[in-house]
């Protein structure tokens, strides 16, 4: 078993560089199935979710190889199966993008999906409703989705009952090569939705309106390969490091980010009295440890991202006064609170709301990651705490952060990964 050993209490100082967006990459890689020409994709984050997608593509018959540590060559011309049902597929939520991509390529798809996960139920009913509207017959049996468009996919008008990143992107994947026009209304506006649209447009797709709540797609017959498309920076990785800098009374410049994508976070940090200097593609965060609490609600973009809620709650535990956090995207995203309270925080959770009483001095203890972002949050707590913390179940962190501890060490964190023997 691997764990992180963190000696807390050191102010983070210096420069840190953000990689490509995980949530864009897990959709962009399946999108390569929509062409028989090779694609060269830059700024691909080498995280375990991406490595799983690469393995799934290879199992389907694609050629994938790293050209350097962030450039990936993908050639799917030899893929001749629309069936992705092996174990890898059900190891990650993002594998649902294979349904849209395989439907777009072959007019049929059979994909095994994972069940619920710790942050919530994670239904995909709106994805499936979208595929049905495009003319596919969709069945879900024993956790496997079987979609079939015998007469090909046809453009349609689709209204999403709830704003969903996954449904917006998955329907986009299926619709780009459908016959005729598709309109998706009430869609998600996240930066990675725009990035997928830009990637597909670079392959010859005709998608307009990504980044607004109405996306219009004119179906095209063929897509060509993408040559040197660069994935956008990871907004959540950037936000995690920004919060870590503030929580450790540090002074860190986070490079390779898009400041506009960070506005919900920077506005809150400024409101709390934390130093924020924005540059063209970097943000400097500095703090002397004196900042006040605040209230926020997680919302789809451009609202405050749910994927930064746990990290922000750690910061609020260190802030002066009361804070309130409302989680409106996932019903179970406070799983880290129990661990954080063991470190000395005082957070009361009531359903999807949390009341945070600060400021509290945190102390290092043995911790377990309940999920990806909770793992990042507990790492921040351990960096800000006095004494030593041990963090287990770090496989969750590896799903979304490449060389997490290496990057943190680069700004002065005392953090090591070590292998320990287990009794089980
Ligand atoms: N929802 C439905 N039906 C659907 C789809 C979604 O009811 O068919 C609900 C969900 O239950 C949730 C809400 O709609 O309450 C929003 O879900 P969304 O579809 O936007 O989430 P997702 O696409 O499954 C992605 C990210 C998550 C991130 C959310 C919200 C990927 C692979 N995952 O999930 O990322 O929290 O958007 O921004 O892109 C993470 O990176 O840690 C992570 C969990």
pLDDT value of position 141: 83
Does position 308 have pLDDT exceeding 70, yes or no? yes
393: β partners = none
Which residues are annotated as catalytic? Answer: 117
Residue of the nearest CA to atom 40 in ligand 1?
A: 307
Cross-sheet strand order for the sheet of 321-326: 295-297, 321-326, 353-358, 346-350
Q: 113: pLDDT confidence band, cut at 50, 70 and 90?
A: confident
Partnered with residue 416 across adjacent β-strands are: 5
**H-helix or E-strand spanning residue 7:** strand 2-7
**Mean pLDDT for the stretch of residues 129-152:** 94
Distances (CA, A) of 192 to 41, 104, 121, 269: 15, 20, 22, 23
Average pLDDT over residues 93-102: 93
123 Cα to the center of ligand 1, angstroms: 9
- For 176-216, the pLDDT digits (tens) are 999 999 999 999 999 999 999 999 999 999 999 999 999 99
With cut-offs at 50, 70 and 90, classify the pLDDT of residue 116.
low
- Is residue 118's pLDDT more than 90? no
Q: Which of the residue ranges 106-115, 234-243, 314-323 would you say has the lowest mean pLDDT?
A: 106-115
**Closest to 398 in 3D by CA, of 49, 95, 72:** 49
Query: What pLDDT, in 10s, does the model give residues 336-381?
Result: 999 999 999 999 999 999 999 999 999 999 999 999 999 999 999 9
Q: Answer with the residue of higher pLDDT: 116 or 261.
A: 261
Residue nearest to atom 31 of ligand 1 (CA): 23
Q: What is the pLDDT of residue 423?
A: 66
User: What is the per-residue DSSP string for 337-383?
Assistant: HHHHHHTT-EEEEETTEEEEEE----B--EEE--SHHHHHHHHHHHH
User: Would you say residue 115 has pLDDT above 70?
Assistant: no
Q: 1 versus 322: which is more confidently predicted?
A: 322
Pocket of ligand 1 from Cβ distances under 6 Å: 23, 26, 93-94, 119-127, 162, 164-167, 188, 306-307, 329-330, 372-373, 400
Mean pLDDT across the chain: 96
Q: How far is the CA of 94 from the centre of ligand 1 (A)?
A: 9
Predicted confidence at residue 421, as pLDDT, reads 81
> pTM of this prediction?
0.97
Nearest residue by C-alpha to atom 35 in ligand 1: 307
Per the CB < 8 A criterion, the answer to whether 274 and 304 are in contact is no
The domains found in the chain, sorted by start residue, are 2-19+234-419 (3.65.10.10), 22-219 (3.65.10.10)
E strands present in 209-329: 214-218, 227-230, 251-255, 275-278, 282-286, 295-297, 321-326
């Amino acid at each position: 078993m691997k764990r992180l050993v963190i000696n807390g209490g050191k102010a983070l100082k210096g420069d840190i560089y953000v990689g490509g967006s995980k949530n864009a990459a897990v959709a962009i890689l399946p999108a390569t199935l929509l062409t028989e020409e090779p694609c060269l994709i830059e700024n691909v984050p080498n995280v375990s979710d991406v490595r799983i997608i690469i393995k799934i593509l290879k199992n389907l018959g694609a050629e994938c190889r790293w050209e350097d540590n962030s450039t990936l060559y993908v050639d799917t011309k030899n893929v001749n199966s629309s069936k992705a049902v092996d174990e890898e597929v059900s190891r990650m939520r993002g594998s649902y993008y294979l349904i849209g991509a395989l439907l777009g390529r072959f007019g049929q798809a059979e994909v095994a999906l994972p069940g619920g996960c710790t942050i919530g139920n994670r239904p995909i009913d709106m994805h499936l409703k979208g595929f049905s509207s495009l003319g596919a017959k969709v069945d879900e049996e024993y956790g496997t989705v079987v979609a079939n468009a015998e007469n090909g996919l046809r453009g349609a008008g689709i209204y999403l009952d709830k704003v969903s990143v996954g449904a917006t992107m998955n329907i986009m994947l299926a619709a780009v090569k459908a016959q005729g026009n598709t309109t998706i209304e009430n869609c998600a506006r996240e930066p990675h939705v725009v990035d997928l649209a830009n990637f597909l447009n670079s392959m010859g797709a005709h998608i307009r309106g990504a980044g607004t709540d109405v996306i219009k797609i004119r179906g095209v017959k063929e897509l060509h390969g993408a040559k040197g498309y660069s994935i956008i920076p990871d907004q959540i990785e950037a936000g995690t490091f920004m919060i870590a800098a503030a929580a450790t009374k540090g002074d860190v410049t986070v490079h390779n980010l898009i400041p506009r994508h960070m506005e919900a976070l920077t506005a809150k940090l400024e409101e709390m009295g934390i130093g924020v200097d924005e540059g063209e593609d970097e943000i400097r965060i500095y703090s002397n440890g004196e900042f006040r609490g605040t209230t926020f609600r997680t919302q789809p973009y451009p609202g405050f991202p749910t994927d930064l809620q746990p990290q922000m709650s750690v910061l609020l535990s260190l802030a002066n006064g009361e804070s309130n956090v409302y989680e409106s995207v996932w019903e179970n995203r406070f799983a880290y609170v129990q661990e954080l309270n063991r470190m000395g925080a005082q957070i009361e959770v009531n359903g999807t709301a949390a009341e945070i009483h600060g400021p509290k001095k945190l102390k290092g203890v043995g911790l377990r990651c309940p999920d990806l972002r909770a793992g990042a949050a507990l790492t921040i707590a351990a960096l800000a705490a006095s004494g030593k913390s041990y963090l287990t179940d770090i496989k969750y962190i590896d799903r979304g952060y490449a060389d997490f501890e290496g990057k943190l060490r680069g700004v002065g964190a005392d953090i090591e990964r070590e292998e320990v023997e287990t009794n089980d």
